[in-house]
């Protein structure tokens, strides 16, 4: 029996484990539990993706709806509802979901991973050793680098947490001269203020003075003062972590794969960190299944994973760039100047152009394996769209280039016709 070992029990590692179990594999997962209490702001789309990955039970007690205030470029407005995800509660739910699915969960710190022709030797703290025929690297940013990957401007996020007075649940985002801050307050009085700054230009003091420095910066912000009030701050703690955007140079081999932040990590400003982690993790079980059961398709499976992760990275990088460009007050300051120009000047969402659609053979997911099929390449989907509402698009687009729309779409049922017509219009098709 193939020994499948996953390193890391965050959303990405858990999603891969559950997906592999659904495909009938025995899975062992090794993780060192999070050592600090974190709160994350996520969107409705992230919650839907987590539920789609089979993690709805983990979410049951872990989310709090919050109206988010945004203070950006000197303007203040209320955005849609943000959900505050309590990571300790959520992480406990992940472990319960994994054990309930029959995944063997081992708590431990990985000391080393030694690859060989027969698999991987994993040494754990305490002397235990594991063997993996196939390894899934899902330890996030803590995963060892595989050479020099692509990196955005070096960025660090300083998370301040303290106990304040009970109140209402709320969250906010504020742009500052040398960075930006995300803040949240739970009804039980737990308060969070995360300041994201440029490593090179921030001029941060040493570790011994960093907590006081963050407090001074927070108290200098009218937005933060109004958000948190003047209540006493008990049990004030600080946790620093890198938030640099990173794309690993290698993402998949014949006996291993990287998912989540171990594959690529995005700037937290986009608010899509968990979503992009899940995006690479949800496709991974099918990629792994192909590598193990259809080795003749190994190159195709690796290409599929590599292309999908890279495309997500560039998309989120450009979305983050556009958010930074919206802040005009300090565009010459080092923090903003570096981020409003990275990674390039290509648009994040290209204008639809039906005449530019083209058909190509690309890797797709079919019946639990990576396969190849004709897809339609669009300005916004460079890897192609295979089908919509169960209807393959390539034959339709090919016919539409020479035949009337009503004739081409005549064989579709009402629901399919409605969705296909809407897709065609979104691509600039004008009958």
* 2 pLDDT above the threshold of 80: no
Q: How far apart, in whole angstroms, are the C-alpha atoms of residue 251 and residue 136?
A: 10
Average pLDDT over residues 11-35: 93
Mean residue pLDDT across the chain: 92
User: How many residues make up the chain in this entry?
Assistant: 431
Q: Token digits for 412?
A: 């579709």
* 368 pLDDT above the threshold of 80: yes
Residue 50: predicted pLDDT: 86
Contacts of 406 (CB under 8 A, 6+ apart): none
Residue 342: predicted pLDDT: 95
Q: Token digits for 202?
A: 């921030």
At CA 210, angle to CA 34 and CA 262, rounded to 5?
35
Residue 277: predicted pLDDT: 83
User: Does 212 or 80 have the greater pLDDT score?
Assistant: 212
CATH code matching the domain that covers 155-242, chosen among 3.30.9.100, 3.30.980.10, 1.10.1740.10, 2.160.10.10:
3.30.9.100
Q: How far apart, in whole angstroms, are the C-alpha atoms of residue 187 and residue 415?
A: 45
* 45 pLDDT above the threshold of 80: yes
Per DSSP, the three-state class of 308 is helix
Pairing of strands 246-247, 264-265: antiparallel
Q: How far apart, in whole angstroms, are the C-alpha atoms of residue 182 and residue 173?
A: 5
Q: Tell me 385's DSSP state.
A: B
Residue 271: predicted pLDDT: 63
Of residues 300, 297, 301, the one with CA closest to residue 284: 301
- List pLDDT tens digits, range 85-132: 888 899 999 999 999 999 999 999 999 999 887 899 999 998 899 999
Residue 138: predicted pLDDT: 97
The answer to whether 299 and 345 are in contact (CB under 8 A) is: no
Give the global pTM.
0.93
* 420 pLDDT above the threshold of 70: yes
Of the pLDDT bands very low, low, confident and very high (cuts 50, 70, 90), residue 53 is confident
Domain ranges of the chain: 155-242, 354-426
Average pLDDT over residues 45-65: 84
- List pLDDT tens digits, range 260-287: 999 999 888 866 678 888 888 999 999 9
Residue 264: predicted pLDDT: 95
């Amino acid at each position: 029996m193939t020994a499948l070992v996953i390193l890391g029990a965050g959303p990405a590692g858990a999603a891969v484990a559950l997906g592999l179990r659904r495909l009938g594999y025995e899975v062992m997962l090794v993780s060192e539990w999070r050592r600090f209490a974190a709160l994350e702001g996520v969107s409705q789309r992230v919650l839907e993706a987590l539920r789609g990955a089979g993690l709805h039970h983990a979410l049951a007690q872990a989310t709090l709806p919050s109206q988010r205030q945004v203070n950006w470029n000197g303007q203040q407005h209320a955005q849609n509802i943000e959900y505050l995800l309590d990571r300790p509660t959520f992480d406990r739910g992940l472990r319960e979901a994994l054990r309930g699915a029959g995944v063997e969960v081992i708590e431990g710190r990985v000391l080393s991973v030694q690859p060989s022709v027969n698999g991987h030797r994993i040494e754990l703290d305490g002397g235990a050793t594991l063997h993996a025929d196939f390894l899934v690297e899902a330890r996030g940013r803590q995963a060892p680098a595989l050479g020099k990957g692509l990196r955005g401007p070096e960025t660090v996020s300083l998370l301040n947490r303290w106990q304040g007075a009970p109140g209402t649940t709320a969250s906010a985002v504020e742009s500052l001269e040398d960075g930006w801050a995300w803040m949240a307050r739970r009804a039980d009085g737990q308060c969070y203020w995360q300041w994201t700054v440029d490593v090179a230009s921030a001029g941060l003091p040493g570790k011994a003075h960093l907590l006081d420095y963050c407090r001074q910066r927070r108290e200098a912000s009218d937005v933060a003062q109004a958000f948190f009030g003047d209540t006493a701050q008990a049990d004030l703690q600080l946790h620093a972590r890198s938030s640099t955007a990173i794309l690993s140079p290698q993402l998949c081999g014949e006996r291993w794969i990287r998912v989540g932040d171990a594959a690529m990590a995005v700037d937290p400003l986009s608010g899509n960190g968990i979503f992009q982690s899940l995006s690479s993790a949800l496709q991974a079980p099918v990629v792994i299944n192909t590598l193990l059961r259809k080795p003749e398709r190994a190159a195709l499976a690796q290409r599929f994973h590599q292309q999908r992760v890279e495309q997500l990275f560039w998309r989120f990088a450009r979305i983050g760039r556009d958010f930074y460009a919206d802040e005009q007050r300090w565009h010459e300051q080092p923090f903003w100047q570096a981020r409003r120009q990275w990674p390039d000047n290509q648009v994040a969402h290209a204008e639809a152009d039906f005449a530019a659609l083209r058909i190509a053979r690309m890797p797709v997911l079919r019946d639990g394996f990576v396969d190849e099929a004709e897809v339609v390449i669009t300005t916004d989907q460079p890897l192609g769209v295979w089908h919509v509402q169960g209807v393959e698009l390539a034959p339709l687009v090919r016919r539409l280039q020479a035949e009337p729309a009503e004739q081409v779409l005549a064989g579709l049922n009402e629901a399919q016709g409605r969705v296909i017509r809407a897709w065609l219009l979104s691509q600039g098709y004008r009958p």
